[in-house]
Amino acid sequence: MIKNIVFDIGNVLVKWAPHDIVNKVFPNHPNTFELNQKIFKSPAWMDLNRGKMTEKEMVLIYNKELGISLPELEYLMEQAKQGLTPIEGSFELLDALYDKGYPIYSITDNVHEIVHFLKQKYTFFDKFLGAAISADLGVLKPNEAIYHYLLNTYHLKPEECVFIDDLFINIEGAKKVGMNGIQFITADSCKDELIKLGVEF
């Protein structure tokens, strides 16, 4: 029986589209796909998500390694935050589960500065009873440690939890520790999958 609902954040609750961000900030760049990879798939970005450096430190690395000006990089990071807009129906889905009394948690690969921004702009963090955030823990999904942290810290039984994430590999990580999982496509399809697991609305 499902007792706890665990949400990812990026592309589940809010949109995360780094290639769109790069296109907006560098509209005349000859290869925005390659630039996107160099920025958002780089070792520095992974370290930022693991909490090993600050956003300012990462910006200095990109300035040196990629030759992008500091004002452009600061604008890039601002747009990265402003682009975190609600996924259609997801806030309502979370609210419906919260109103039904389900304990809500989160497991997210996320950056300290972005988490701070999200807490300032939206209220969904207030509904989480707890969260496992990569930047706090130094590990990224699908590393089993991030799932175990949530389960152990909040004394949750894995079989009583369902984890909702947009990436299949992260759902597989949750299942390896005994959690149920739903790959997020839309809020409506997610609700249908939750109902199949016995979640009541």
pLDDT digits (tens, 9 = 90+) for 136-187: 999 999 999 999 999 999 999 999 999 999 999 999 999 999 999 999 999 9
Please provide the average confidence, as pLDDT, over all residues in the chain.
Answer: 97
Handedness of CA 115, 121, 124, 129 (dihedral sign): positive
- Quick one: DSSP state of residue 86? B
Bond before 18 cis per omega within 30 degrees: no
Does residue 128 come out as left (phi exceeding 0), alpha (psi in the -120 to 50 range) or beta? Answer: beta
Q: Which amino acid is at 54?
A: T
Cβ(11)–Cβ(184) under 8 Å? yes
Q: How many CB atoms lie under 10 A from the CB of residue 113?
A: 17
Question: What does the pLDDT read at residue 71?
Answer: 96
pLDDT of residue 76: 96
Using 50 as the pLDDT threshold, list the residues of the chain that sit under it.
Answer: none
Give the C-alpha separation, 152 to 157, whole Å: 9
Q: What is the reported pLDDT for 27?
A: 93
Q: According to the model, what pLDDT value does residue 92 have?
A: 98
Distance CA 50, CA 140 (A): 7
The reported pTM is: 0.96
Contact 124, 91 (CB under 8 A): yes
Residue 79's pLDDT is 97
Contact 3, 103 (CB under 8 A): yes
CATH assignment, 4-15+85-196: 3.40.50.1000
Give the type of residue at 193: E
Query: 126 forms bridges with which residues in the sheet?
Result: none
pLDDT confidence of residue 101: 98
8 A C-beta contact, residue 12 and residue 84: no
